Structure 1
Amino acid sequence: MRNSERSKETTLKEICSQAVRKHLAALGTEAVLGLPVPLIKDLLSHLTICQLDKLQPALNQRGISTYSGWIGVLRDMSDPNHTIDLRTEEEAKREVMRTLFPLVFYGFSNQYIRRNIANLNTPSFLQAAAKYVQHFLLIPSSPRPLEALIAEQWPLLSLLEKHISSIGVTQSFNLSQRKTQIVLYVLHRLLDHGRARKLVVNVQCPIVLAWLLHGRGSQYVDLMLKNLIHSRKGGGISQVASGSADGAGLSPGLQTAASDDPDDEGTPSKRPKLDSVSPELEESGKASFTVDPQFLCRALTPCHGAGGDGAGSCPWGQIDCLEIRQCGSDALRVLNFALPTFFCLRSLTLHSTSTFRDSDVLDLAQALKKLSDSSRSSLTSLSISVLPNAKLMEVLLDAIPALMSVHVEIQTVMWGPPLQNHPRVAESDVAADLPLEKLTVKIAELQTDLRFMTSVLRRCPHLISLHVAGLRLPTGSSQGQLLRTLSESNPCLRTLHLDDMKLSDCLPEIQNLLKDCKLEEVQFNDCRLLEKCSDKEESLQRLVAALKTVPSLHTLSLAQNRLAKNVCVLADLFSGSSPSSVKWLNISSNFIQPAELLRFTNRLRTHHPPHQLTLDLRRNPGDRDPDTWTAALKSLRPFCVLLVERWKSTDMLLDHVSNM
């Protein structure tokens, strides 16, 4: 076929596909299902998101996946250099919906949305996307979309209640302003009537935090919030709560709008109307409105009270996962009062933009100790950053020893008074074993005393996952003791991530650790593995030989280790009668040049992996010789899933300098 004919055929196919997209509602699903499979697959990239969602079940029944359609949307939305690592149809679809829902809901825009606004800015898209969105971002500064949720978008709110499991509060709001009622109402519906159990708070207002925690797991009642609730229970709200159907006597901000429908039989189709109130009245405190979610719900819910228990009180949800960002002393004070009776809390994450003060951490430890002593605590996961010194990590572990997962970030304070010798919270339990299974420690210190780390590891015989980053020792010291402790004290270890640590003199300890272990994931990123080796190739061969003896190993990351020309040795992972079971190999940021990748490829083809291998090659200078790089990738694709991206060698120079 001549090129002109091929071009004409392609153009005609695209015209037909665009016509199907435009008139699909009239054509019907059956018309598409009746097409030959190759044509259906070509059509997928032309369909709208709602059309893909609608056709997917029927196409799946025919054995046709819509994966290419969803991936096409993601590529259209993403930067050309972005690597999309999603394997299944559902993963790709969920990512599309998760990304677009908040942008469309709040009216934000990007190039993709502007090109497809007619198909996205619709109730049908929002309702389709809501089924796949688990995290709802609450933005009080964009009130109109939230107001729509108690009016024309009421079905969307009902859908969100069923699917949202996590809520993020990104901005503070003033509880003394009437316009805040919509925000509080939406939160109440999702937290108390819905299934949301995780709360992410990114505000620095303690009274807002107190409202969010009020009645949702802790028995503590903030005095300031209690006074605010009682002072705002005006007559208007009370009349709504007592069953006023016509809104007579309501405060100006909570009057219901009469229906224009002549067939309207009463309350069920009415929608509450929030009128404005003068700033002077609001500031004077004479405006009659409430911040009590129980009263708000009866006032603002269509079919007053129908969303709850009829004429009874609304349910109270429970928060079992709490994350506080920008966590300062004021927020900690509110939390510390609530913690001793916060029995339903399973996971707590605290992040401060600056280093916590010693006194703040000690107060938190005391509150956690009270919770632990109650014997009713459900808290098993704690994440906190940034601690001012490593000793406080053990203080927290002693305070609540039942923790299963701990994540801490430590940064030594270089100013202020000298560090205190912190008393242990539970001296009698100092030597007791901990049930800890997952531990992450990220350190930003010039030097760290390794003993604090080995002491914790010896107390954690059930540890399954360990991630340590940035552990720097005094000159002349070695990380070998850390690896020896792991070999001796942590036989259950499945995942080991060591980042930004000097391991160039620890090859014997690494080999010993890998012997008879149960590791499934190993990550030595930016660990200068070959830095001081006189024979780098021979040292890497010894490491490969040790890794091959671990039958459970499926994920291996050696990123940022300056492997360069020695990368060929890694192909030996799959040589011999007992090839490695590794299915994911990360060799990104290793200054691997095209000729070196081609040699690795040829060697890997000789020692063919026994299964499909995912190979991460990002941040390597493939542009030094694009033809050779492309040839190597082409040879790898039959048996590898490749993670690659466009990269400039000028950027690689910066990466090289950072790893020198």
Structure 2
Amino acid sequence: MWPQLALSSSMATTTLVSMCIRTVARNMDVLEKRVCDLPASLLKDLLPHLNMFYLDRIEKVALLKRVSASLQVAWAAKWRDLNRTWRCKLKFMQPEENWKQKCLESLFHMVLLRNSEVHNILTNLSEYAVLSMSAEHVRVLSLTVAGRGGCRLASEELRPILSILEERVRCLRLFDAMALLKQGRKDVLFVLHRLVDHGSVTEVVLKRAPDYFLLSWITSRCTRPPQTVPQASAAPDTWDNLRNEDLWAEEGPSAPKCLRLDLCMDERLCCKFSPSCSVNGRCRVGQIHSLDLEVRSLATVSRLLPSWLCLHSLHLYGTQLSLEKLSLKSTEIQTVENFPSVLQHAPKLSNLHVAGIRHAHLLLHTLPESSPLLKVLILEDINLADCHQEIINLLENSILEELSLKDCRLLEKCRETKDFLVPFVVAVRGLCSLRSLSLCQNRLATSAIEIADLFLGDCPSKITKLDLSSNFILPADLFEFAQRIETYCPAQRLTLDLRFNPLDRDPKVKGQAMKKLLPFCNILTDDWDSRSTMADHVSVM
């Protein structure tokens, strides 16, 4: 009887504490200043019950009480609450993500775009208060037609929010620019002008076939050095009376129309919105270093390429170019067949990301000769089952520092997986410059054991980062892998990514494997439930 009474008393105490914590959370507007008096243990229990507004406000107290780890857990939980598809997004995020920043950036967009679900997350707080708090953490700003977000930022009410964004936003993403401009051309252009020309934006992403009007304006910011725009002769209120066709000038009978930037970015137009906008009556022109375009044909932008002197990175979807960093995502056979000749004109290419192409052997065969300075190669969603010899040849004739073969079906046609993995491992060991290797989503399963031989012998690989995530590696396979690593004793500590493998199938064996790996590896793992959903199962198969 006594043990039963003791248990009941303990449960009653726990329930009372929980009730008090929830009451404090509901009345934070009154009790916020008293939070610093709470012991660390109670503060730790309080964090999950706070909304994002107060979670942000008591951050200093949480750090002072040394419960920062619990604070990150609370922010991560809030981020999951905001994102229904968080399981899918989690695969592309790093364990050391700043969850607070990610969470408040998501919240900002939901409020700006007037997402109805946000009312269930934050109550008793004004829209302006939430935007002011979250705008400080926006690094990537996405503007769409939803909620008239682009136009609203130009309003008198949200002008202070726009000023915050000018200082914080580094990347600007525009979706369906034609529809966005139709909502309010003057307002949208003013917002873009403030963010790019007066703000800190250096990366721009234009999706869904941007019209030439906006493309010309954006790409004029890719020149070097930046130039101030000459003052137009139009009257201060001329903008309101301009027709669309007045914004264009013909360069010749067969040349595409060119945007008259002197009309679009008149300093007096900018001052009409904000009298303190420009200094000495002049607005500077921003400088974009990274451009990600979705265009229908190369002809759309080819005429402008020679003027893009300050670009460090250019991503074109459905086209091809010659630069230091190139990303190609295409399934067009003709594009791939012409790609090797394009690479011949890019001898300084150091970073190449290719996804979704067919006939990859043409690309791999060309790379050693055409791109001798290539340091980063990322191949994604490409069938390399028939390209084993080309892969080996590339490894033997390159200075790669990072290689990623993601979802490349490497072993699909192997009678014996060792037929490819043995020479592959030997070639990787011989590539002294290689520091990062990713083989995620290649159905390695038991074959992952062979990868441990990278650290075998007198000349082991210099790799410090190895990604084996999403390969259906079972605990028994990991244990054998760990045994080899323990035997080889790699000289340098290895960051090993094992996420999204069904290691939950045998927790005991998993634990034994982890124990062997920990002296040599920083392990990235998760609590993924491999049996939870069919979607998760398919993602690793």
TM-score bucket of the superposed structures, by smaller chain: 0.7 to 0.9
Given that residues 350 and 383 in structure 1 are in contact (C-alpha distance below 8 angstroms), is that contact kept between their aligned partners in structure 2? yes
In structure 1, what is the equivalent of residue 25 of structure 2?
Answer: 21
Q: Which of 84, 104, 124 is the matching residue for 1:97?
A: 104
**Structure 1: which amino acid aligns with 2:497?**
L
The letter of the residue matching 2:450 is V
Deviations 1:533-581 (A, max 9, x none): 4432464244334434545544322234332332222344456677655
* Unmatched segments (≥5 aa) in structure 2: 243-262
State the one-letter code of the partner of 1:494.
Answer: K
CA distance in 2 between counterparts of 1:406 and 1:162 reads 29
Task: Quote the residue 2:142 is aligned against.
Answer: 137
* Change in CA separation of 1:363 and 1:53 when aligned onto 2, cut-off 3 Å: closer
Give how far 1:601 is off: 5.6
Q: Deviations over 1:255-275 (max 9, x none)?
A: xxxxxxxxxxxxxxxxxxxxx
What does residue 376 of structure 2 align with? 495
- The aligned counterpart of 1:45 is 48
Partner of 1:384: 316
CA distance in 2, matches of 1:172, 1:514: 45
CA distance in 2, matches of 1:602, 1:95: 38
Mapped to 2, the partners of 1:155 and 1:36 lie a distance apart of: 38
Partner of 1:118: 123
Of 298, 302, 306 in structure 2, the residue corresponding to residue 365 of structure 1 is 302
* Aligned pairs (5 A) from 1:265-276: none
Q: 1:445 is matched with which residue: 319, 324, 333?
A: 333
Q: CA distance change for structure 1 residues 382 and 116 in 2, over 3 Å: closer, same or farther?
A: closer
- The verdict on how the C-alpha distance between 1:383 and 1:129 changes in structure 2, with shifts beyond 3 A counting, is same
Task: Kindly indicate whether residue 276 of structure 2 is the aligned counterpart of residue 306 of structure 1.
Answer: yes
1:650 & 1:161 partners in 2: Cα distance? 43
> Residue in 1 aligned with 2:248?
none
Match of 2:442 among 561, 573, 597: 561
The RMSD of aligned alpha carbons is 4.6
1:325-360 Cα offsets, whole Å, 9 max, x none, are xxxxxxxxxxxxxxxxxxxxx4444313xx53xxxx
Percent identical pairs in the alignment equals 29
Query: Does residue 350 of the first structure (1) align with residue 293 of the second (2)?
Result: yes
1:92, distance to aligned residue in structure 2 (A) = 1.4
Shift of the 457–6 alpha-carbon distance from structure 1 to 2, 3 Å rule, reads farther
TM-score (norm 2): 0.73
Corresponding position of 2:251: none
- CA distance in 1 between counterparts of 2:29 and 2:51 reads 12
1:407 aligns with 2:407: no
Larger Rg: 1
Residue 168 to residue 227, structure 1, CA distance change in 2 (3 Å): farther
Matching residue of 1:521: 402
330, 349, 353: which one pairs with 1:467? 353
Verify the 8 A CA contact 2:166 2:195 in the aligned structure 1: yes
**CA-CA distance at 1:108 after TM superposition:** 0.7
Between the aligned partners of 2:153 and 2:368, the Cα distance in structure 1 is: 59
Matching residue within 299, 311, 317 for 2:285: 317
Aligned equivalent of 1:74, options 54, 61, 79: 79
| Structure-2 separation of matches of 1:608 and 1:4 | 53
1-side partners of 2:104 and 2:509: how far apart? 35
Unaligned runs of 5+ in 1: 235-289, 322-345, 388-392, 398-402, 410-441
Secondary structure, aligned partner of 2:59: helix
Cα gap change, 1:537/1:42 in structure 2, threshold over 3 Å: closer, same or farther?
A: farther
Q: CA deviation at 1:100?
A: 1.0
Looking at structure 2, the residues matched to 643 and 468 of structure 1 have their Cα atoms a distance apart, in angstroms, of 28
The answer to whether the 8 Å contact 1:601/1:632 transfers is no
**What is the letter of the counterpart of residue 641 of structure 1?**
L
User: What is the CA distance between 1:143 and its match in structure 2?
Assistant: 4.6
Quote the Cα distance in structure 1 between the aligned partners of 2:420 and 2:219. 59
Q: For residues 597 and 10 of structure 1, do their structure 2 counterparts lie closer, same or farther at Cα, with a shift above 3 Å needed?
A: farther
Instruction: Give the deviation of 1:71 after TM superposition.
Output: 1.8
TM-score if structure 1 supplies the norm length?
0.61
Determine the structure 2 residue equivalent to 1:425. none
Q: Which residue of the partner structure matches residue 628 of structure 1?
A: 505
Matches within 5 A, 1:136-175: 136-139=141-144, 142-143=147-148, 146-147=151-152, 150-170=155-175, 171-172=177-178
Structure 1 residue 96: Cα displacement? 0.8
Quote the Cα distance in structure 2 between the aligned partners of 1:67 and 1:633.
26
Count of matched residue pairs: 497
Change (3 A) 1:548 1:540: same
Cα distance change of structure 1 residues 107 and 367 upon mapping to structure 2, 3 Å threshold: closer
Query: The residue matched to 2:58 in structure 1 has which SS?
Result: helix
Equivalent in 586, 608, 627 of residue 467 of structure 2 = 586
Name the CA shift for 1:533/1:458 in 2 (closer, same or farther; >3 Å): same
Contact between 1:67 and 1:92, CA under 8 Å: does it hold in 2? yes
Give per-residue Cα distances to partners, 1:563-620, cap 9 Å, x unaligned.
23322223444566776554543334544456545654666666677646342442x5
